């Protein structure tokens, strides 16, 4: 199984790249984490934000691996504790199906992306900077894996 973190955004600060990579490299081959950066739609003065989100939506859909289980990161999604995430990860590993985690841009994910998702997951009721979500996700996935392995990291 491979976890595909499909995230809108580029030109990410170095500290985010370093934080993400630190935890992603700790994950074993059987649940490796792969980042897929999606170029954001055009934004700026007088930009059509709806068109920008539709452009992102098409690129996101193109990046979702065939037959992957899709989990959209959405503020209105269901919150999971770290323990619940480890149970999810165990279930995902048992199913053998690739996982696609979708992270939207500044305006979030399009309605079609939310509808395409098999489940909606909320990291927090707070609005988080989208680059920071990459670090948070990679760390929490590593933590969930460490719980399953009885590794002391979680303590």
Q: What angle do CA 90, 94, 96 make, to 5 degrees?
A: 120
Question: 108 a known binding residue?
Answer: no
Question: 141 a known binding residue?
Answer: no
What are the tokens at 144? 């969930």
DSSP state letter for 11: S
The C-alpha R_g of the chain, in whole angstroms, comes to 15
What are the tokens at 106? 């500044």
Question: 65 a known binding residue?
Answer: no
Question: 127 a known binding residue?
Answer: yes
Question: 73 a known binding residue?
Answer: yes
Question: 126 a known binding residue?
Answer: yes
What are the tokens at 7? 């995230």
User: Which residue numbers belong to the known binding site for S-adenosyl-L-methionine?
Assistant: 73, 104, 123-128
User: Which residue numbers belong to the known binding site?
Assistant: 73, 104, 123-128
């Amino acid at each position: 199984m491979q976890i595909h973190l499909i995230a809108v955004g580029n030109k990410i600060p170095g500290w985010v790249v370093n934080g993400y990579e630190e935890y992603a490299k700790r994950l074993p081959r059987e649940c490796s984490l792969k980042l897929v950066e999606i170029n954001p739609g055009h934004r700026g003065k007088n930009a059509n934000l709806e068109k920008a989100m539709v452009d992102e939506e098409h690129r996101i859909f193109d990046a979702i691996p065939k037959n992957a289980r899709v989990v959209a990161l959405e503020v209105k999604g269901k919150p999971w504790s770290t323990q619940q995430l480890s149970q999810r990860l165990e279930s995902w590993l048992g199913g053998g199906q690739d996982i696609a985690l979708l992270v939207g841009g500044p305006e979030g994910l399009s309605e079609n992306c939310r509808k395409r998702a098999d489940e909606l997951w909320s990291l927090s009721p707070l609005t988080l900077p989208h680059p920071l979500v990459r670090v948070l996700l990679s760390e929490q996935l590593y933590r969930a894996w460490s719980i399953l392995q009885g590794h002391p990291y979680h303590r």
